[in-house]
């Protein structure tokens, strides 16, 4: 019988989560830097007057702004604690559900949780798939976004 790549101690970490990290106040300049890096000229991210005239009334934030920028928003904070011998990590999938618009000036807190772990076999051998989810809440305690990340360990 071949040994599982996921030892019992690792499996026990399904459900483990970080404390609620942050808060991070989303600053206009930080959002502008991301928009510039993506060559994104959307005025709702950068032009205060256009944003004021829009139905939103204020500058918005792209959904890909968060994770690494927010304490506990980076799922690796918890998934690197999983005691696996496999250290080579590749990001496989990103899934975002936006529950409410997020605006510049919002204060965001995040927590990340291990949702699932499974062993798979592909052309190049066996590997482990880890699914983690980061939940973001705003200054009103409302959950505004969920970001699920699937990573692969070989």
Partner 1 sequence: MNHEQMYFEDVKEGLELPGFTFGPVTTKDLIRWACARGNYHQIHYDKDIAMKEGNPDVLVHGPLKFGLMDRMIRDWIGEHGQLKKISCSYRAVDVPGNVLTVNGKVVTKSIEEAEGHVQCELWVENQKGELTTKGTAVVTLPMRGKNN
Q: In the complex, which residues of this chain contact partner 1 (CB under 8 A)?
A: 30, 33-34, 36-44, 54-56, 62-65, 67-69, 88, 90-98, 101, 150
How does DSSP classify residue 13?
Answer: T
| Contact of 131 with 13, CB cutoff 8 Å | no
Judged by CB, which is closer to partner 1: 98, or 143?
A: 98
Nearest approach in angstroms of CB 34 to partner 1 is 4
In this structure, what token pair is assigned to residue 128? 């482990």
Judged by CB, which is closer to partner 1: 16, or 146?
A: 146
Judged by CB, which is closer to partner 1: 94, or 116?
A: 94
Judged by CB, which is closer to partner 1: 9, or 93?
A: 93
In this structure, what token pair is assigned to residue 2? 């071949």
Judged by CB, which is closer to partner 1: 48, or 94?
A: 94
Nearest approach in angstroms of CB 8 to partner 1 is 30
How does DSSP classify residue 114?
Answer: E
| Contact of 146 with 104, CB cutoff 8 Å | no
Nearest approach in angstroms of CB 42 to partner 1 is 6
Alpha helices in the chain (DSSP H): 8-11, 28-37, 43-46, 48-53, 76-79
**Strand partners for 80:** none
Nearest approach in angstroms of CB 112 to partner 1 is 15
Cα separation, 126 vs 119, in Å, equals 7
Nearest approach in angstroms of CB 16 to partner 1 is 23
């Amino acid at each position: 019988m071949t040994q599982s790549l996921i030892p019992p101690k690792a499996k026990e970490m399904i459900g483990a989560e970080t404390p609620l990290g942050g808060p991070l106040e989303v600053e206009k300049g930080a959002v502008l830097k991301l928009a510039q890096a993506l060559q994104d000229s959307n005025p709702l991210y950068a032009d205060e007057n256009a944003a004021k005239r829009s139905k939103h009334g204020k500058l918005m934030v792209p959904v890909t702004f968060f994770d690494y920028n927010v304490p506990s928003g980076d799922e690796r904070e918890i998934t690197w604690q999983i005691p696996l011998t496999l250290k080579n990590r590749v990001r496989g999938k990103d899934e975002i559900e936006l529950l409410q618009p997020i605006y510049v000036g919002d204060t965001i807190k995040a927590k990340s949780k291990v949702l699932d772990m499974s062993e798979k076999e592909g052309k190049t051998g066996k590997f482990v798939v880890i699914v983690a989810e980061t939940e973001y809440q705003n200054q009103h305690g409302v959950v505004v976004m969920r970001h699920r990340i699937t990573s692969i360990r070989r």
